[in-house]
With several copies, the nearest count.
Chain A
Amino acid sequence: MVEDRRLTDAELDRLDERVWTDAPDEARVDFEDAVAFHESLPAHKQFADVLEGADGVLTQPRAGVARLEEQIELLRTLTEEGGADLLPTTIDSYTRDNEYEKAQAGLEQSRETGESELNGFPAVNHGVEGCRSLIEAVDAPVQVRHGTPDARLLAAVTLAGGFQSFEGGPITYNLPYTSKYELAETIEYWQYVDRLCGAYTERGVRINREPFGPLTGTLVPPSIAIAICIVEGLLAATQGVRSVTLGYGQVGNIVQDVAAIRAMERLGPEYLPDAVTVTTVFHQWMGGFPRDEARASGVIALGSATAAIVEPDKIITKSPQEARGVPTAEANATGLRTTDQVLQMLAEQSIDLEGVDREQELIERSVRSLLEAVFEAGDGDVACGVVRAFERGLLDVPFPPSEAAAGDALPARDDDGRVRLLKFGDLAVDEETKEIHRARLEDRAATEDRSPSFRMVADDVSAISDGRLVGRPGDD
């Protein structure tokens, strides 16, 4: 059984050696050389420091295209036209599947056609040198954003290549992104990733790690997102990571979203070791977007307003073209500017919402109970506890493509638009909490004169395209 134990230096070295053999045409990169590259970067490109030292909410888009020059230009557009504070490099799907040959083919095809034939940047194929050119060419800290269950080689290449923040984790980049991996497997892979980050950290290069809180992006109850992020934070901390950003995706109810970020801000430092600096990231709406750009701008602005109220350390922005496909650089910058406008206009205002405390209380209670279940299931070992908790459905996520999660937890919105659970499966929350969820959903059922059912869930998922948060019967 997998264990939550720090890999020894010897283990790291052995694993590292093996990981690099998968690199298409690259020899294992000298660690000292990589550290030296990081040290050569100016202060304003040091990811963890910039993020942790900022006041105000930093903005960061998602963006990745196939070719290096094109990626550089894309990132420049996002800082120059969008004012992005932090930069992303989103990795293509083939790389996420570790299909480096297909990625190579796509890259070459892109070079021929001059268009991006991949949905992201194939960092492994660009290699360490390619990554370093990118990092040098742009003027802000850059993070790897991907969705790769087995991200060992990607981490080895990109960290040696000068990236200082690495998104994902063994749960959050497994369950929502793939059907092909056991949790025990991805935990092992990510122990290597985290240990590598830890090794850099020990050398003074504090690599930032960011669990992907939004999960499947669709009606994810805050407590589930937070509990899973904290678990991933704990696993990372074991391997020596010292900068962790807990993530959460907007559900659209302002009070619930504010309460969730607050809960994360309180519980993160409480559960993670003192040596870890905890920050938070709020993702603008991660579910299906309205196709109409005017409506999409409304969704983007609402997420920005929520962020302005609760002030997470950063916000991940969407573009008004989200529903259509990978956005153009201009559309991406548009989303950033709409976000910035709302953030800045609200920046000076102190806005306190009634009812946040109560919702926060409810979230925190569930998070604690879910974490307790993990600790217990593993007899104190988090890694083992995670595997067992998911096996038994004590932890679960809605709409998982993966069989590693039970997928029995079925969420729906209450009358106020807050995400509640219609079915808990075996989720480890106490009866009192369940009762609250049930009561809220019965209120909604009464309002709509129908019984709580999957139909409600389907209506809620589609509601946003009709311009609404709660999917009422007869809306379309």
Chain B
Amino acid sequence: MSGTSVVVGTIGSDAHVVGITLLEHALKEAGFEVRNLGAQTPKEAFAEAAVETDASAVLVSSLYGHAEQDCEGLHEAFAERGADPTTYIGGNLAVGQSEFEEVRRRFREMGFDGVFSADADFEDVVEALRAEFGIDESASQLARARS
């Protein structure tokens, strides 16, 4: 299963990187190949990295409350470059205390395949990706042992 390539990063002007730093490590431990774009990544850079690494999934993180504005046009940027990765978004997705279900709906409409609240922990993310790509745990343990 080595070859399941994943891109992670925080989008827009967001500089919160603790989450993706740990996510990067957790995904690597789970056997994924990870490209971490770091903080304040423009949407185009996500699309370019997805093409370059032939990414199966792109994981966008946003903590600071402007996710919606920042992600506008992200999926179009993928399409322009002929990329069609599975896309997840996670973090703190709304200014203030609005309801998460409403937030999920909005991001689904924007094209995200998975919308995660800040309650999601690393295992949830790894689980979701495994399910997505039909990877079972033993296979990834093997990959990890080999790496």
Contact = CB atoms under 8 A, between A and B. Distances in A.
B135 interface: no
Given A97-B13, A326-B95, A119 B64 contact: yes
B27 to A, nearest CB: 12
A99 B15 CA distance: 16
Nearest to B41: A179
Interface stretch (B17-25, B51-59, B74-82, B125-133): B17-25
B4 interface: no
A462 B39 contact: no
Contacts, number: 77
B26 A458 contact: yes
Given A177-B15, A401-B38, A291 B118 contact: yes
A369 interface: no
Nearest to A400: B17
A216 B18 contact: yes
A288 interface: yes
Chain A contact residues (Cβ within 8 angstroms of B): what range? 35 or more
A461 B16 CA distance: 14
B97 interface: yes
Interface residues of B, number: 26
Interface string B34-68: 00001110000000000000000000000011100
A178 B15 contact: yes
Contacts of B134: none
A324 B97 contact: yes
A410 to B, nearest CB: 10
Contact of B25 (A116, A179, A323, A454): A454
B15 A176 contact: yes
Contact of A180 (B18, B40, B119): B40
Q: Which of A93, A116, A462, A476 has its CB near the most chain B CB atoms (within 10 A)?
A: A93
A403 B118 CA distance: 26
B121 interface: yes
Contact of A179 (B38, B65, B66): B38
Nearest to A402: B39
A163 interface: no
A117 interface: yes
Interface string A440-464: 0000000000000011011001100
Given A399-B18, A461-B18, A178 B95 contact: no
B39 A179 contact: yes
A53 interface: no
Contacts of B65: 93, 119, 325-326
A198 to B, nearest CB: 29
Interface in A61-110: 93-94, 96-97, 99
Interface string A385-402: 000000000000001111
Given A177-B15, A178-B40, A119 B66 contact: yes
B39 A401 contact: yes
A462 B18 contact: no
Contacts of A321: 97
A291 B119 contact: yes
A21 interface: no
B94 interface: yes
A96 to B, nearest CB: 8
B94 A325 contact: yes
A325 B119 CA distance: 13
13 contacts: A96-B13, A217-B18, A291-B118, A324-B97, A325-B95, A400-B17, A401-B17, A401-B39, A401-B40, A403-B38, A454-B25, A455-B29, A462-B22
Interface of B: 10, 13, 15-18, 21-22, 25-26, 29, 38-40, 64-66, 92, 94-97, 118-119, 121-122
Interface of A: 93-94, 96-97, 99, 115-119, 176-180, 216-218, 287-288, 291, 321, 323-326, 328, 399-403, 454-455, 457-458, 461-462, 476
Given A93-B13, A288-B18, A455-B25, 6 more contacts: A116-B95, A119-B65, A218-B18, A287-B18, A325-B92, A462-B22
- Enumerate the 8 nearest inter-chain pairs by beta-carbon distance, A residue then B residue, closest first: A401-B39, A401-B15, A179-B39, A401-B17, A119-B65, A458-B22, A179-B40, A97-B13
